[in-house]
Structures are given as structure tokens and as C-alpha cells.
Amino acid sequence: MVAGDRQREPRREWRWSPVSDQFIGVDVGGTKIATATVQAGELSRSRLWVTEQGSQEALVEQLVEAIETVRGADSQAVGIGVPSVVEFKTGRIRSSVNIPLQDVPLRQLLTDRVGLPVFVENDASCAALAEAFENGRLTCPHLVLFTIGTGVGGGWVLNGRLYRGATGAAAEVGHTLIGLDLTDGAPKDPGEFPQPGSLEALASGRALDRLAHAAASAHPDAYLGRVRAEKGDVEGTDVVDGAHQGDAACCDCLRILGERIGIGVANAINTFDPLEVVIGGGVSRAGDLLLEPIRRAAFQHVVPGSGTETSIRIARHGPHAGVLGAALIAAQEFAEQSGQALESTVAGEASS
């Protein structure tokens, strides 16, 4: 439908041992759709489309075209990551953010159209599964992912599998509460989501924007004050840029944000005792400037004896995590239905 909007990203090497089966990954975002395949020992180039926002029907049609464009003779299954609340068992999307898919049986619609098994998953959960893998092997069976972007999302890998909860709505980590005043009990009116005191309200990209505005006002002669005088505004990306240049006010903004995230990380460690906590999303490009306050605050608030094996790191797959994770979802479900181990399926050690 929008062939003129297709682009290609540079090939990203992702070497596995030889594999004949192909698994298709589709990462659906509010601005773009990425498709790629896992086959023959590598993750293919991602093909990109501008997301069709006109209607639900138009977007479904675009997804069919995107799948058919990368489909090969050895394609076995399709995984699709969406910014949605998903009922995984049926593949029904209940609600979505930034895409026109609401209360739609996407799995059934696409399976009927493309003639392959299709599996639909939340996009952050796809990224979490990708982060549990390295060089085609499951290297971290117990992992918690936080994605810090415009909002805060996440995913949990427990015992080598995604944890989805009873209805598929698990891992809404952005809506866990880290700063709520309960002196007089719960608020009578908690307000709209993201609620005050939630991780998303206090530690998202939008929260970093607010910290940037406050710092620019407090320090008009420092980096953020100068950027605002030049551009008329400041945002979180300016904080990261200034921090990399050593600006003290920018570094302090990242300290505050990192310590807030660290409280959320401490809750995750206290609850799940994971091997790894991974920080992804756009804000993660701050690197150690963000990781150091996260680690410090997290381990200050972990119960003694817990988290002794937990490491906290930046996500390694970057913008490829979503499409890689979607392909891994397809491989995981294909392996389960065919009675194979996931690693054997992706590594080509067993055939269907």
C-alpha cells in the first residue's frame, strides 16, 4: 500500500549455526513498521514502512503486505510485536497506543490472510525476549526489561519464557507506584493514567523533559539555559547531550531520573530476583551516566540477601530488539507446537 515509503536499514550481523526454517518478525510502532527474518544463521536487514494510521482495515492490509514482502519458501511462522494490550492465547488486541487497532482478532485475521501461524505479542515483551538471547542462545532465563522512552514499558522473562499473567496484561511496569504519599491512606481520586507517583509519571522521557525545563530555568547560563535561549525549548535529548559534554545540571537531571528508575528496579529485584535487569528505550543512550544512579539506588533498596546474582545493564540490541524478539516469539511458539526446544529450532539442530 505504501511501497514508496519502504526503506532498508543496514544489515545487522546476528550469527547462528545453519538453520533452514525461517521465522518472520514484525515490529509495529506508531510511526514505522519493521520486518525482518531469522534464517541461515543471521537476522536479515529490516525493511521499514511508514505506519498506516488511516484505519484499522488499512493497517491490517499493510501488515499482510509487509509479511508477504519478506516471506520465503521456508517460512514457518510470524511473530508480531505491537504497542498494545494483547490476549496472547487468541491473539486478540484489546487496546493500543498510537496505532488504530482496538478490540481486533489480529492473529486470526492475519493467519487467514497469509496462511502461516501468526503470534501477536506486546512490543516490550518482544524486546525482553530478544535481550534474553545472545548469539542465538538463551543466555539469561530470568530477566526484567525496562524501556524508558516517551513512557515506561517492560517485559519479564521467567524460566526462559515470557511471563504474560492470567490475561496477557502483565509487565505494565510503568504503572507500578514508586512515589505515592499514603500518609492518609490511598488517594480518593487517583487521577488518570499515568497516575501520580507511578514510574511512568516520575521516570519517563516526559519526566526528563520536565527536569530539563526546571534546570534551564534554574541555570540560564548553563548548557540547558543556552539551548533554550537558542531553540526556544529544551527536552530530554538535550539533557543527554549536555551530560555527555560534562554539564553539571544535565548530569544532575540524569541522576534524579536514574535514582527514580532505580526504585522501580529495586522493586523488580525484590519481587523476581532476576539474573539481569536491562534498561532500554531512547533514554538509555545516556549509558553509564544513567546506569550508575540506577544501580546505586536499586541496590540501596534491595532487601539484604536478594539480588546477589543480579546485574543491571543497557539493552544490547537497540532498535533491532523489537523485530528480533518478534521473530523469536514465532520460533518459540513453533518449537513448542512441534515438540522441539527453542534453541534447537533457532539453531537448526532439529527439523520439523
Q: What is the Cα–Cα distance from 297 to 260, expressed in whole angstroms?
A: 8
* H/E stretch holding 109: helix 106-114
Q: What are the backbone dihedrals phi and psi of residue 349, each rounded to the nearest 5 degrees, phi first?
A: -95, -5
Q: How many Cα atoms sit within 13 Å of 115 on the Cβ side? A: 5
| Start-end of CATH 3.30.420.40 domains in the chain | 3-130+318-347, 143-272+276-309
Q: In the β-sheet with 276-280, what is the strand arrangement from edge to edge? A: 161-162, 152-158, 143-148, 276-280, 311-314
Lowest mean pLDDT among 17-31, 32-46, 79-93: 17-31
DSSP code per residue over 178-220: SS---TTSS-S---SSSPTTBHHHHHSHHHHHHHHHHHHHH-T
The topology (CATH level 3) of 3-130+318-347 is Nucleotidyltransferase; domain 5 (3.30.420)
Q: What is the mean pLDDT of the segment spanning 10-28?
A: 66
pTM score, whole prediction: 0.84
Instruction: Report the chain's C-alpha Rg in angstroms.
Output: 21
Indicate the CATH number for domain 143-272+276-309.
Answer: 3.30.420.40
* H/E stretch holding 145: strand 143-148
pLDDT the model gives residue 17:
39
Q: Which residues lie below 8 Å from residue 91, measured CB to CB, with a gap of 6+?
A: 105, 106, 107, 108, 111, 118, 119, 120
Residue 97 CB: number of other CB atoms within 10 A? 15
Give 158-213 pLDDT, tens digit per residue. Answer: 999 999 988 877 888 888 999 988 888 998 888 888 888 999 999 999 999 999 99
